[in-house]
């Protein structure tokens, strides 16, 4: 059953339906379905952890808003907005969250820093993650459309403990990246040290 939430317009000027329509314009059908799945997972996690549903919904709905922007747009923004210039050495995987947050702020007029931070941190996490950061990070990983080895264990853990799911996701993402000789964004190591290593 689809969960919905009536927006009190604390974070976005329009209704949930209007925000969904804005997001739909920006992404492929497949990614749009993923985003709706992330919202459903985020609402469930928010309910289980007594977190504000409206805020979880907005953050989840916008988390991949900028995913299909061009590399040249991201690069120009990194230069213009004075973000960490080392970002120029990375790619869409990292940009769509970290730089995407600036696009969301500008185009959707969402200014809540906790929501923007949850978008910035949704791919690799951070040393210190708020509950909203954790909700979006985990929801992105376990939404109903995800299918990869370990996803059911991640879902089960998330139902028991948000933090345990953050730990599992961080560890397994790093293992996956290393097994495939992928570069690791330094913040991902900080997340690992904070949530996995002991």
Q: List contacts with Fe ion (CB under 5 A).
A: 64, 140
| CB nearer to ligand GDP: pick between 7 and 59 | 59
CB of 102 to ligand GDP, least distance (A): 16
| CB nearer to ligand GDP: pick between 53 and 187 | 187
| CB nearer to ligand GDP: pick between 1 and 149 | 149
CB of 51 to Fe ion, least distance (A): 19
CB of 52 to Fe ion, least distance (A): 21
CB of 103 to ligand GDP, least distance (A): 14
Q: Which residue has the tokens 């560890």?
A: 171
| CB nearer to Fe ion: pick between 50 and 90 | 90
Residues that bind ligand GDP (CB under 6 A): 34, 64, 67, 93, 97, 122-124, 140, 173, 177, 182-185, 188
């Amino acid at each position: 059953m689809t969960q919905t939430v009536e927006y009190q317009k604390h974070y976005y000027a329009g209704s949930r339906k209007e925000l969904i329509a804005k997001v739909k314009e920006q992404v492929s059908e497949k990614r749009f379905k993923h985003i709706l799945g992330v919202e459903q997972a985020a609402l469930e996690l928010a309910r289980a952890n007594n977190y504000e549903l409206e805020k979880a919904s907005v953050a989840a709905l916008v988390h991949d808003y900028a995913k299909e922007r061009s590399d040249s747009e991201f690069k120009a923004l990194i230069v213009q907005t004075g973000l960490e210039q080392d970002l120029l050495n990375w790619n869409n995987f990292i940009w769509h969250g970290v730089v995407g947050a600036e696009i969301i702020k500008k185009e959707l007029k969402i200014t809540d820093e906790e929501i923007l931070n949850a978008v910035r941190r949704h791919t690799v996490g951070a040393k210190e993650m708020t509950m909203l950061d954790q909700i979006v990070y985990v929801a992105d990983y376990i939404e109903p459309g995800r299918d990869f080895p370990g996803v059911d264990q991640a879902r089960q853990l998330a139902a028991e403990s948000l933090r345990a799911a953050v730990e599992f996701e961080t560890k397994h993402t790093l293992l996956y990246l290393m097994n495939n000789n992928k570069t690791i964004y330094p913040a991902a190591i900080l997340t690992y040290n904070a949530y996995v290593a002991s």
